[in-house]
A and B are shown apart, each in its own frame.
Chain A
């Protein structure tokens, strides 16, 4: 089900949304989603994992990053720092005992919690793909653009990439951000037994991967 949670926002406190399976059980997993397009591509994997975790007796919480998905905050005012603060707040609000960060979620997750990171990615890698998508689109439209020049514009003025209105803070943050995992167990795509869904051009689904991911988490929590 969908619940709201209080989150620090531009004008003080604001409500954000989260998918929640909460039966007041002792193990409570916060899921920090991937960033940007990869969030959409992995949405069904994340929700499928939550359902499978429910069957393992584990509660789980999938909050929106402010400015994305159902959030009412403007994307342009987001930063990695803001997302870190928001995810830490979500962990407190839902009383999470463990955390699962997917891909770019590893750049902003509350790493004080024990848990798992799935294929953590450097911020610069995500940014490079977005810049390239824009360069490729411009070339198809007969214009010349250059990744390095676009990055410089993005860092000073902000820039639109793949339909997202990036402020300079988020560009600068992504350009230098590294995964924050500290003792969490890293899960590689191959362990889930299927193609990496965050690469998929059209959002896909793979219930077997969700079941596998949930089983890894359930085994780790029980250990």
Chain B
């Protein structure tokens, strides 16, 4: 579970899109809430975030995968990314 680089990559993308400083990025745990907790995360920012994740990892999401539940917490987003990378 901890042997891949999804966690570091995802933190880096979140830092770029949300402008989070290294201290806030390092403080993210799987339980950290994303949607609702981060006012910057409107629908355009969510679309940008998913596009940046796709670019970073070379993935392609379906519309159906881009749900609010995916962004409930940092952990739920990480699960999606890991699942996509290892189908």
Given contacts A135-B63, A146-B63, A147-B63, contact A201 B47 (CB under 8 A): no
CA distance A200 to B16 in the complex (A): 6
Chain A binding surface SS class? helix
CA distance in complex: A200, B52 (Å): 10
Please provide the chain A residues from 163 to 213 with a CB less than 8 Å away from any CB of chain B in the complex.
Answer: 195-196, 199-202, 204
Instruction: Determine whether B45 belongs to the interface, using a CB cutoff of 8 Å to chain A.
Output: yes
Nearest chain A CB to B65 CB, angstrom units: 11
Chain B: residues with Cβ within 8 Å of the partner, total of 22
Given contacts A129-B51, A135-B63, contact A199 B17 (CB under 8 A): yes
CA distance A134 to B41 in the complex (A): 14
Beta-carbon contact of B19 and A129 below 8 Å: no
For B47, list chain A residues within 8 Å (CB). 129-130, 132-133, 136
Shortest Cβ distance from residue A125 to the other chain B in the assembled complex, whole angstroms = 7
A121-B46 Cα distance, complex, nearest whole Å: 19
Bound CA span A125–B54, Å: 11
A195 B19 Cβ-Cβ under 8 A: yes
Given A125-B51, A132-B63: A140 touches B19 (CB 8 Å cut-off): no
Q: Which of B23-70 contact A (CB under 8 A)?
A: 40-52, 63, 66-68
Bound-complex Cα distance A133 to B41 (A) = 11
On whether the beta carbons of B43 and A201 are closer than 8 Å, the reply is: no
Expressed in whole angstroms, the Cα–Cα distance for A204 and B40 within the complex equals 12
Partner of B44, one of A37, A125, A128, A204: A37
A128 to chain B: which residues have CB within 8 Å?
51
Question: Would you call B43 and A140 a contact (CB within 8 A)?
Answer: yes
**Extra 7 A-B pairs, beta carbons < 8 Å, given A130-B44, A201-B41:** A129-B44, A129-B48, A134-B43, A137-B43, A140-B43, A162-B44, A195-B15
Residue pairs across A and B with Cβ atoms less than 8 A apart, 10 shown, are A37-B48, A125-B51, A135-B63, A136-B47, A147-B63, A162-B43, A200-B16, A200-B17, A200-B19, A201-B44
